[in-house]
């Protein structure tokens, strides 16, 4: 790895976690909307803003030129009659309304209109700059006069104060603002249409994900109807094919397990009956009878597992009554029990299968410990069920191996305890079939702590 790649990778991971949304829908919307927003900002700042500045300055400069012409003519006029004639001609041939106040003062007009206390915007400054380029006389501009649609300019002359009333659309550009509004409105419409079609494209992905999750929990979701883009249709077709293969494989395994167990049970039952009929006190006969009992128990475990997995449908199950039954089971085995279950926890389970899983774990806990604690809580991601005891526990190096079929820990899994070596393997298989996980940790009292994580 080259120097700096690790740091860049960490920065990229941080950005992906904090800025990029986790949902495909919002990522797709971001891909569509973000370039459009950036384009609008660039156009507004670079083009429209500069265009608005230039047009406003040109318009203001044109009006200022007409006012400068009127100022020059009024200054050259020798009598009041000539000034009135000039003002009348401007009213006739121009759309400017000019009036002259003899002995008027610019300072008084500015204070009367409140121009000096107003804060000028960027566009207002462009208008003032346009007038400054053409007028050499002292002036003031009221861009927010009491007369709507008009701009008032005051120019100080030797003969008095010239008051100019000009239409606002001759001083500032109004079409640019209108184009900006149209651009924003059209962008909102396009974003709405884009979001609608992105949702249509992403919806089949969400449906496929929910079908996969349901199938992972053991629910029979049936064939998923492929729709949407071709890639999603291919993924849906692959899911349907995978589902058929898994169901066929599970069915064949269950049928084979049930057939083998049934075939073994018949001769074992006959051997047990024959040993009982012999009624021999020979130690070898008693050992043989114990071995036959172990084999029958093992076959019963196979049959129970096969019957429980075959044909059972998932349903919404409240956890509190189920865990109360497990606590009573531990009490009957002679263990002191504690139960901590949050109110109202429900989830979709196969009741018989999950009961068998919990029973195996509770039996192990009550067999090797005198105290059993059962707890359940809902976390942000899943539902967590814990079963812990105060027994010898499971060494950390063996916590994964104990889930292997027929695996035993000599100090805690002797033949005298009656275990078949399949309980934990079956329990984990059931939890995995629900889309969850089963693992062991060290309990609060040093014993084993089984942690079941089920989908919420």
What tens digit of pLDDT does each residue of 286-317 get?
Answer: 777 777 777 777 777 666 655 555 556 778 88
> Which pLDDT belongs to residue 384?
93
The answer to whether residues 141 and 261 belong to one domain is no
Structure tokens at 169: 């659309």
State mean pLDDT over 208-213.
82
* Torsion angle in degrees (nearest 10) through CA of 361, 364, 366, 368: -150
CB neighbours of 89 closer than 8 A, spacing ≥ 6? none
The answer to whether residues 82 and 150 belong to one domain is yes
The answer to whether residues 43 and 171 belong to one domain is yes
> Which pLDDT belongs to residue 331?
92
The answer to whether residues 76 and 128 belong to one domain is yes
Please give the model's pTM, rounded to 2 decimal places: 0.50
**Which residue did the predictor score with more confidence, 57 or 161?**
161
> Which pLDDT belongs to residue 173?
66
Domain membership flag for residue 423: yes
Handedness of CA 388, 394, 395, 397 (dihedral sign): negative
Helix (H/G/I), strand (E/B), else coil: 146: coil
> Which pLDDT belongs to residue 121?
64
Name the band, by pLDDT with cuts 50, 70 and 90, for residue 267.
confident
Domain membership flag for residue 112: yes
> Which pLDDT belongs to residue 1?
45
- Cβ atoms of residues 385 and 317 within 8 Å: no
> Which pLDDT belongs to residue 438?
92
Residue 260 has pLDDT above 70, yes or no: yes
**Which residue did the predictor score with more confidence, 13 or 336?**
336
Number of structural domains in the chain: 3
Domain membership flag for residue 223: no
424 vs 280: CA distance, rounded Å: 36
Domain membership flag for residue 126: yes
Q: What is the CATH number of the domain that holds 337?
A: 3.30.565.10
Domain of 114? 24-176
Name the band, by pLDDT with cuts 50, 70 and 90, for residue 414.
very low
> Which pLDDT belongs to residue 337?
92
207 vs 410: CA distance, rounded Å: 48
Tens digit of pLDDT for each residue in 245-254?
888 887 777 7
The answer to whether residues 112 and 245 belong to one domain is no
The answer to whether residues 41 and 129 belong to one domain is yes
Q: What is the CATH number of the domain that holds 48?
A: 3.30.450.300
Structure tokens at 217: 């929990």
The answer to whether residues 37 and 147 belong to one domain is yes
Helix (H/G/I), strand (E/B), else coil: 139: strand
Q: What is the mean pLDDT of the chain?
A: 78
The answer to whether residues 170 and 36 belong to one domain is yes
**Which residue did the predictor score with more confidence, 1 or 430?**
430
């Amino acid at each position: 790895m080259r120097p700096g790649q690790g740091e860049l990778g960490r920065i990229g991971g941080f950005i992906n976690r904090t800025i990029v949304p986790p949902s495909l829908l919002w990522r797709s919307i971001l891909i569509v909307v973000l370039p459009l927003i950036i384009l609008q900002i660039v156009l507004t700042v670079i083009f429209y803003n500069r265009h608005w500045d230039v047009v406003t300055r040109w318009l203001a400069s044109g009006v200022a030129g007409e006012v400068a012409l009127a100022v020059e003519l009024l200054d050259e006029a020798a009598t009041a009659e000539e000034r009135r004639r000039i003002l009348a001609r401007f009213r006739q041939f121009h759309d400017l309304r000019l009036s002259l106040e003899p002995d008027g003062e610019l300072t008084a007009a500015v204070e009367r209109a409140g121009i000096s206390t107003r804060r000028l915007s960027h566009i207002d400054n462009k208008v003032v700059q346009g007038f400054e380029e053409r007028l050499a006389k002292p002036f003031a501009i009221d861009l927010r006069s009491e007369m709507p649609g008009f701009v008032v300019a005051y120019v100080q002359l030797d003969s008095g104060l010239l008051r100019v009333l000009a239409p606002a659309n001759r001083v500032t550009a109004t079409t640019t603002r209108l184009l900006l509004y149209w651009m924003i409105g059209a962008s909102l419409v396009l974003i709405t249409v884009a979001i609608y079609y992105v949702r249509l494209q992403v919806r089949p992905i969400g449906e496929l994900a929910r079908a996969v999750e349901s199938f992972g929990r053991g629910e029979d979701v049936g064939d998923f109807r492929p729709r949407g883009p071709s890639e999603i249709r291919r993924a849906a077709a692959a899911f349907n094919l995978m589902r058929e293969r898994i169901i066929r494989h599970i069915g064949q395994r269950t049928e084979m397990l049930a057939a083998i167990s049934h075939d073994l049970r018949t001769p074992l039952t006959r051997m047990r009956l024959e040993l009982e009929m012999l009624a021999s006190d020979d130690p070898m006969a008693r050992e043989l009878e114990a071995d036959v009992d172990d084999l029958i128990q093992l076959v019963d475990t196979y049959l129970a597992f096969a019957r429980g997995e075959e044909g059972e449908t998932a349903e919404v199950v409240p956890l509190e009554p189920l865990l109360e039954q497990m606590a009573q089971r531990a009490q009957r085995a002679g263990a002191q029990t504690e139960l901590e279950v949050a109110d109202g926890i429900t989830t979709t389970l196969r009741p018989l299968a999950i009961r068998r899983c919990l029973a195996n774990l509770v039996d192990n806990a009550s067999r090797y410990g005198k105290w059993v604690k059962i707890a359940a809580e809902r976390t942000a991601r899943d539902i967590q069920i814990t079963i812990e005891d105060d027994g010898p526990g499971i060494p950390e190096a063996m916590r994964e191996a104990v889930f292997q079929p027929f695996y035993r820990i000599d100090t805690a899994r002797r033949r005298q305890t009656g275990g078949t070596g399949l309980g934990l393997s079956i329990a984990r298989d059931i939890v995995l079939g629900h889309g969850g996980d089963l693992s062991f940790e060290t309990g609060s009292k040093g014993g084993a702590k089984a942690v079941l994580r089920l989908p919420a």
